[in-house]
Amino acid sequence: MRDMGLVQNDEPVQRLFTQGMVIKDGAKMSKSLGNVVSPDEMVARYGADAARLYSLFAAPPDRDLDWQDAGIEGIQRFLGRVYRFVVRNAAVGQTLGSHNGKPTELSAEARTIQRKLHQTIKRVSDDFSGRWHFNTSIAAIMELVNAMYVAEEQSRDAIPSALWHEAQRDLVLLLGPFAPYLAHELWEMLGETSNLLRAPWPKYDPALAKEEEIEIPVQVNGKLRTRIVVPADSDQQAIQQAALADEKLKSAIAGKDVVKIIVVPGKLVNIVLR
């Protein structure tokens, strides 16, 4: 692994440290308080990618950034996890092209990765379309990496090589705006010869991002009693039947008069008792 972008003059990082208010130890950074964090020092110690990524992850642009040394250390470890993952899996599927498998053609494990990938592309793309809350974008990428680690450890053989390669490729594209030095290195490692900056942004497919099942909380008089898992396209009647069949709910309403059952599809069920 090269130096994760250990460059001394990273202008975007410099700007991140000079725009808005940066707080450390509960007070605004100032020379008089002796709590100033030097961007050059952070870049030299952790790398430009880690300094940049932490500054974007620690707070949305409309809030103060509370600088925590443990936070940037965690970001550096995350970037290391991404690097190690691609090192182990870069060669998989490079010659097979993109994956166009339909959900019905995939194993449950492969479908989990495919769905998480497209959900992540949507979340990051939506943030770039106007919210500019990059902390949520980075959190989504972290969730995708966690899911890929789980799949690698538990069900690697159940995932088509082309899908595995596509997931890595799209991961690097999503990471590019936040950690460009590492992303460029991983892009080459994946066998890509084009310029990362000119590569088309990944597109999400709503059908592939859709959950097959969803979890719905069930309340009794407004108090959470249980949760049920139902198909994502379940109607009110199906959700109500699933809730009433739940053993925890049966126990909670046993011997009591049900006045009303309120079902909000995809959101919640509330049982009103007398």
CA distance 99 to 24: 46
Does position 1 have pLDDT exceeding 80, yes or no?
Answer: no
Name the residue with higher pLDDT: 196 or 38.
196
Per-residue pLDDT tens for 24-63?
Answer: 555 565 555 555 566 777 788 888 999 889 888 877 666 6
Rg over CA atoms, the chain: 23
Q: Mean of the pLDDT values across residues 84-99?
A: 80
Q: What pLDDT score does 112 carry?
A: 92
Per-residue pLDDT tens for 140-168?
Answer: 999 999 999 999 999 888 899 999 999 99
pLDDT band for position 70 (50/70/90)?
confident
Q: What pLDDT score does 148 carry?
A: 96
Q: Which distant-in-sequence residues (6+ apart) come within 8 Å of 269 by Cβ?
A: 216, 217, 218, 219, 228, 239, 240, 243, 261, 262, 263
Does position 2 have pLDDT exceeding 60, yes or no?
Answer: no
Q: What pLDDT score does 102 carry?
A: 64
E strand or H helix at 258: strand 258-264
Per-residue pLDDT tens for 204-239?
Answer: 999 899 888 889 999 999 999 999 999 888 899 999
CA distance 108 to 115: 10
Q: What pLDDT score does 4 carry?
A: 43
CA angle, corner 128, sides to 116 and 19, nearest 5? Answer: 125
3-state class percentages of the chain: helix first, strand second, coil last, to nearest 5: 55, 15, 30
Does position 108 have pLDDT exceeding 90, yes or no?
Answer: no
| φ, ψ for residue 203, nearest 5 deg | -110, 140
- Three-state SS for 40-52 is HHHHHHHCHHHHH
- Residue 41: which of 65, 17, 19, 63 has the closest Cα? 17
- Across the chain, what does the average pLDDT equal? 83
- Residue 51: which of 15, 75, 84, 23 has the closest Cα? 75
- CATH 3.10.20.590 location in the chain: 213-273
Helix extents (H) in 90-227: 108-126, 134-155, 161-175, 180-189, 206-209
Q: Give the homologous superfamily in CATH for domain 11-209.
A: Isoleucyl-tRNA Synthetase; Domain 1 (1.10.730.10)
Per-residue pLDDT tens for 9-22?
Answer: 454 444 444 444 55
Provide the 10 A C-beta neighbour count for residue 115. Answer: 19
CA angle, corner 76, sides to 70 and 79, nearest 5? Answer: 145
Q: Which distant-in-sequence residues (6+ apart) come within 8 Å of 232 by Cβ?
A: 210, 211, 212, 213, 214, 266
- CATH 1.10.730.10 location in the chain: 11-209
DSSP label of 190: T
Q: What pLDDT score does 42 carry?
A: 78
Name the residue with higher pLDDT: 100 or 121.
121
Q: What pLDDT score does 145 carry?
A: 97
Q: What is the CATH number of domain 213-273?
A: 3.10.20.590
Of the ranges 40-54, 69-83, 109-123, 252-266, which one carries the lowest mean pLDDT score? 40-54
Q: pTM for the whole thing?
A: 0.72
